[in-house]
Structure 1
Amino acid sequence: MDTTEETRRTALDYVESLERRDWPRWEALIAEDVVYELPQSRERIRGRAKFLQFNVEYPGDWHLDVRRVVADRRNAALWLDVRVGDDHVDACVWLEIGTDGAITKVTDYWPEAYDPPAGREHLAERY
């Protein structure tokens, strides 16, 4: 992998293959020894087979929509709108791409929504 556009395309293909549940296409993007991490739950999955099983077995009728992707030669960051039923959550996904173009590491950040603490209403507006 030697261009930013290839990394960007890999990132978009990753999300699209997940959204379509196109597991053969998804597997072709993922390194055999991939590492998948979820910092909020402190979970780590090692290997493409286990990572695939994680996605296949993930509960609910979930859907992914890319809001933004930023890439360089070997890394991509995705801001996703993740939907399960009527619930929406923003997620940030970081991808690391190996020299052969396969995704070697995925880090998913699933921020929890919360009300802001009192005392800063004079500084911030709610949206």
Structure 2
Amino acid sequence: MHINESAENYLETILRLSEILPVVRSVDIATELGFKKSSVSVAMKNLRENNYITVTDAGFIYLTDAGKEIAEMIYERHDILSGWLEALGVDKEIASEDACKMEHVLSKQSFNAIKEFVNANILKTQ
């Protein structure tokens, strides 16, 4: 399952918005990310064509199982990495921004090692 960073960000955003909104629309994604609606429309078309999302006639966006799997993976990476950086003393906003960059480039092996370390050494002390 190889997908580009931009698509991963869109899927993660759809997941996060679906947790707080009754339905997710392109305009919600554009507002959340600060992008133009036209850019989001192109991205949604690509995600739909690759079977990561479905879009109803009313414009409601839902993650497919494949899309949700990727979104949850990226969200977990963001959560673990930003928490780890904060525990190291990095400002919360900077930690979140850096986690956004790191979450896409780490190998599964490296991420799992970081995750195990954080769970064993940082989360247990909080």
Q: TM-score, normalised by structure 1?
A: 0.23
Point out which structure has higher relative CO (alpha carbons under 8 A, 6+ apart): 1
